[in-house]
Amino acid sequence: MTSTTPPGTLYLVPAPLDFGCETQTPLTDTLASGTLSTAARLTHWVCENAKSTRAYLKRIDALYPLAAPLQQQVLTELPREVHKKGDHSDKGSASFDARPLLAPALAGHDMGLVSEAGMPAVADPGSSVVRAAHELGIAVVPLVGPVSLLLALAASGLNGQNFAFVGYLPQDAQERQQRIRELEALAHKSGQTQLFIETPYRNAAVWQALVQALQPQTRLALASGLTLAKASVRSQSVQQWRQQPISPDNRTPTVFALGR
């Protein structure tokens, strides 16, 4: 007998950008009331990390009572290999079948997809879950919240009509220098802004490599601690940065951007 229960909805629930930071921003400063109230009524989740998701739900509960206690929330973590290798292969196809994670939605439960910071599936795991939802006929609804890449781009003064997020730079110093020059050449040729991020403890090393490898006229932006009280966005030529040397905080999430 075929079930007549309609499927639930997959909500993409953004998280505040203060994960891992010393201080937290009030949720109401960066997240819409509709986002928080919707999250509060969900009881089934696909998440990047169960511990951080419970901490986030606890913060929500202080504003909008949860539909079920934390102990009764059903949290399913994405596999570790998805974190390391990403949701997609080098050719762009989904490398992870996330359809089994959406069984509760097929049974009629609304579900939430959440990462540790920002919008899930954007510079974070989760796109395989979204793709699986579309394949299964499950409605996907993105909720309103902060996306660090777009905040950094808007505040950089660089080209916001043509841009690309290129993930992380190589850790090897020689490969990183080569990649920086490739991105710079692309930016100068096409006008396309190049956005990338790094694990906070490598912020200073990446910044030093950028200032050393880029041409003096290239424009370089540094957006750190976005939405936090100590948020900082600066954008100027590499030549100007060399005259005003800085060292980015190795504890604060940062977005880097370069262009012309």
CATH number for the domain including 113?
A: 3.40.1010.10
- List pLDDT tens digits, range 143-189: 999 999 999 999 999 999 999 999 999 999 999 999 999 999 999 99
Which range marks the domain in which residue 235 is found? 148-259
Residue 111 has pLDDT above 80, yes or no: yes
Helix residue ranges per DSSP H, 114-259: 127-136, 148-156, 173-190, 203-213, 238-243
The pLDDT assigned to 81 comes to 79
pTM listed for this prediction: 0.92
The pLDDT assigned to 157 comes to 98
* CB neighbourhood size of 137 (10 A): 10
Considering the domain architecture, whether residues 137 and 161 belong to the same structural domain is answered as no
Residue 104 has pLDDT above 70, yes or no: yes
Which of 124, 142, 160 terminates a domain? The answer is: 142
- pLDDT, average across residues 205-213: 96
* Residue that wins the pLDDT comparison between 245 and 78: 78
Considering the domain architecture, whether residues 118 and 223 belong to the same structural domain is answered as no
Predicted confidence band at 91 (pLDDT cuts at 50, 70, 90)?
low
Considering the domain architecture, whether residues 153 and 133 belong to the same structural domain is answered as no
The pLDDT assigned to 156 comes to 98
Tokens encoding 67: 């539909």
Range with the poorest average pLDDT among 74-78, 148-152, 247-251 = 247-251
Residue 33 has pLDDT above 70, yes or no: yes
How far, in Å, CA of 153 to CA of 230, rounded?
18
Considering the domain architecture, whether residues 133 and 213 belong to the same structural domain is answered as no
The pLDDT assigned to 1 comes to 41
Predicted confidence band at 85 (pLDDT cuts at 50, 70, 90)?
low
How far, in Å, CA of 66 to CA of 59, rounded?
10
Domain assignment present for 2 = no
Considering the domain architecture, whether residues 15 and 138 belong to the same structural domain is answered as yes
Mean pLDDT, the chain, whole residue set? 94
